[in-house]
Structure 1
Amino acid sequence: MSSGRQDSRSKLGTNYLARDDEVPQIRSLLVEPMSRVQEIDTEIAELYKAIDALLSEQATLRSYIWAHRTLIAPIQRIPPEILSEIFVACLPKERNCVMSSVEAPMLLGRVCSSWRTLSLSIPRLWCRLHIVEPELNSASTQFVRKQKYAQWAEAAKDWLERSGQSPLSISLTGDDEDRHATDVTTPSSATAAILQVLIPFAYRWQNISVRASLTALECLSSISEQDVPMLTRLHIQRAPSPGSAQWPALQFLSGPHIAHFSLSGEHGNIPSLPVRWSQLRSLSIGSHGRSVTNEAAVKVLSLCPRLEACELTISNRMRHPFTGTVLELPHLRSLTLHDRGFYSLYNADGLFSRVSLPGLLHLVVLGYYDLKINGADLLLATSPCLQSLEMNTDMFNKQTLIEILNALPPTIQRIKLAGGDGLEEPECTMDDDVLAKLTPSTCPSLQELHITDCDSISDQALLEFIVAMRSADSPTLRLVEVHFIRPKQVDIHEQIQFLSDAGLRIEINYEDYELPGASPWKGLPDEYTAETAELASRMRWTSAGRSHE
Structure 2
Amino acid sequence: MYSPFQSKLGTNYRARDDEVPQIRSLLVQPLSRMQEIDTEIAELYKAIDALRSEKATLRSYIRNHRALIAPIQRIPPEILSEIFVACLPKERNCVMSATESPMLLGRVCSLWRTLSHSIPRLWCRLHIVEPELSSASTQVVRKEKYAQWAEAAKDWLERSGQSPLSISLTGDDDDRHATDVTAILQVLIPFAYRWQNISVRASLAALECLSSISEQDVPMLTRLHIQRAPSSPDSAQWPALQFLSGPRIAHFSLSGRHGNIPSLPVRWSQLRSLSIRSNGRSVTNEAAMQVLSLCPRLEACELTISNRIPRPLTGTILELPHLRSLTLDSQGPHSLYAVDGLFSRLSLPGLLHLVVLGLGLKTNGAAPLLATSPCLQSLEMNPDVFNKQTFIGILNALPLTVQRIKFFGGQGLREAEFTMDDDILAKLTPSTCPSLQELHINDSNSISDQALLEFIVAMMSVSSPTLRLVDVYFVRPKQVDIHRQIQLLLDAGLRVELDYESDDYELPGASPWKNLPDEDKAETAQLTSNIPYSISTLSESSDLPAGFVELAKRSKRLLRKFGKA
| TM-score of the superposed pair, with normalisation by structure 2 | 0.83
Q: What amino acid maps onto 1:414 in structure 2?
A: R
What is the distance in 2 between the residues matched to 1:413 and 1:203?
A: 43
Partner of 2:151: 154
Post-superposition CA distance 1:92-137 (Å, at most 9, x none): 0110001111111111111122211111111111100000011212
What are the equivalent positions in structure 2 for 1:447-526 lying under 5 Å apart? 447-514=437-504, 520=510
1:205 aligns with 2:195: yes
Partner of 1:316: 307
Q: What amino acid maps onto 2:424 in structure 1?
A: V
Between structures 1 and 2, the one with greater helix share: 2
Q: Does the 8 Å contact 1:347/1:374 carry over to 2? A: no
What are the equivalent positions in structure 2 for 1:111-130 lying under 5 Å apart? 111-130=108-127
Shift of the 342–352 alpha-carbon distance from structure 1 to 2, 3 Å rule, reads: farther
Q: What amino acid maps onto 1:486 in structure 2?
A: R
Partner of 1:352: 343
What is the distance in 1 between the residues matched to 2:95 and 2:376?
A: 39
What is the distance in 2 between the residues matched to 1:522 and 1:223?
A: 62
Q: 2:247 aligns with which of 232, 253, 256?
A: 256
Give the 3-state SS of the residue equivalent to 1:350 in structure 2: helix
What is the distance in 2 between the residues matched to 1:509 and 1:202?
A: 50
What is the distance in 2 between the residues matched to 1:469 and 1:512?
A: 29
Post-superposition CA distance 1:425-479 (Å, at most 9, x none): 3665112211111111001111111222223222222221112111113322222
Shift of the 437–36 alpha-carbon distance from structure 1 to 2, 3 Å rule, reads: farther
Shift of the 48–284 alpha-carbon distance from structure 1 to 2, 3 Å rule, reads: same
Q: Does the 8 Å contact 2:306/2:334 carry over to 1? A: no
1:228 aligns with 2:218: yes
Q: 2:290 aligns with which of 288, 299, 309?
A: 299
What is the distance in 1 between the residues matched to 2:339 and 2:302?
A: 21
Shift of the 293–275 alpha-carbon distance from structure 1 to 2, 3 Å rule, reads: same
Q: How far 1:24 sits from its partner (Å)?
A: 7.1
What is the distance in 2 between the residues matched to 1:421 and 1:38?
A: 88
What is the distance in 2 between the residues matched to 1:36 and 1:342?
A: 102
Shift of the 295–36 alpha-carbon distance from structure 1 to 2, 3 Å rule, reads: farther
Shift of the 110–493 alpha-carbon distance from structure 1 to 2, 3 Å rule, reads: same
Q: 1:436 aligns with which of 423, 426, 445?
A: 426
What is the distance in 2 between the residues matched to 1:510 and 1:467?
A: 20
Q: How far 1:484 sits from its partner (Å)?
A: 2.6
What is the distance in 1 between the residues matched to 2:259 and 2:463?
A: 56
What is the distance in 1 between the residues matched to 2:179 and 2:409?
A: 46
Q: What amino acid maps onto 1:497 in structure 2?
A: Q
Q: 1:73 aligns with which of 70, 79, 82?
A: 70
Judge which range, 361-370 or 272-281, deviates more: 361-370
Partner of 2:91: 94
What is the distance in 1 between the residues matched to 2:453 and 2:468?
A: 15
Q: How far 1:406 sits from its partner (Å)?
A: 1.5
Shift of the 242–321 alpha-carbon distance from structure 1 to 2, 3 Å rule, reads: closer
Partner of 2:132: 135
Give the 3-state SS of the residue equivalent to 1:494 in structure 2: helix
Q: Does the 8 Å contact 2:285/2:338 carry over to 1? A: no
What is the distance in 1 between the residues matched to 2:151 and 2:19?
A: 82
Post-superposition CA distance 1:61-112 (Å, at most 9, x none): 1112212222222222222211111111111011000111111111111112
Q: Does the 8 Å contact 1:337/1:365 carry over to 2? A: yes
Post-superposition CA distance 1:340-398 (Å, at most 9, x none): 1234244696322232222211001112254x322343342222221100112222233
Shift of the 233–348 alpha-carbon distance from structure 1 to 2, 3 Å rule, reads: closer
Partner of 1:171: 168
1:377 aligns with 2:367: yes
Q: What amino acid maps onto 1:232 in structure 2?
A: T
1:415 aligns with 2:405: yes
Shift of the 320–491 alpha-carbon distance from structure 1 to 2, 3 Å rule, reads: closer
Q: Does the 8 Å contact 2:347/2:372 carry over to 1? A: yes
Judge which range, 350-359 or 506-515, deviates more: 506-515
Q: Does the 8 Å contact 1:315/1:344 carry over to 2? A: yes
| Cα root mean square deviation, aligned | 3.2
Q: What amino acid maps onto 2:11 in structure 1?
A: S
Partner of 2:556: none
Give the 3-state SS of the residue equivalent to 2:326 in structure 1: strand
Q: Does the 8 Å contact 1:421/1:485 carry over to 2? A: no
Q: Does the 8 Å contact 2:284/2:338 carry over to 1? A: no
Give the 3-state SS of the residue equivalent to 1:210 in structure 2: strand
What is the distance in 2 between the residues matched to 1:103 and 1:150?
A: 23
What is the distance in 2 between the residues matched to 1:432 and 1:20?
A: 100
Post-superposition CA distance 1:22-52 (Å, at most 9, x none): 9978995887776665555444433332222
What is the distance in 1 between the residues matched to 2:413 and 2:332?
A: 20
Shift of the 359–423 alpha-carbon distance from structure 1 to 2, 3 Å rule, reads: closer
Shift of the 26–469 alpha-carbon distance from structure 1 to 2, 3 Å rule, reads: farther
Partner of 1:274: 265
Q: Percent identity?
A: 77
Partner of 2:318: 327
Post-superposition CA distance 1:147-175 (Å, at most 9, x none): 11111111101110111111000000001
Judge which range, 170-179 or 495-504, deviates more: 495-504
Judge which range, 433-442 or 479-488, deviates more: 479-488
Q: What amino acid maps onto 2:436 in structure 1?
A: L
Give the 3-state SS of the residue equivalent to 1:11 in structure 2: coil
What is the distance in 2 between the residues matched to 1:36 and 1:428?
A: 98
Give the 3-state SS of the residue equivalent to 2:10 in structure 1: helix
Q: 2:43 aligns with which of 46, 49, 69?
A: 46
Partner of 1:531: none
Partner of 1:247: 238
Q: 2:104 aligns with which of 98, 107, 110?
A: 107
Q: What amino acid maps onto 2:69 in structure 1?
A: I
Q: What amino acid maps onto 1:177 in structure 2?
A: D
Q: How far 1:495 sits from its partner (Å)?
A: 2.6
Q: Does the 8 Å contact 1:469/1:475 carry over to 2? A: yes
1:218 aligns with 2:208: yes
Q: What amino acid maps onto 1:169 in structure 2?
A: S
What is the distance in 1 between the residues matched to 2:513 and 2:150?
A: 60
- Ranges in structure 1 where 5+ consecutive residues have no aligned partner: 13-17, 182-186, 526-540
1:283 aligns with 2:274: yes
Give the 3-state SS of the residue equivalent to 1:453 in structure 2: strand
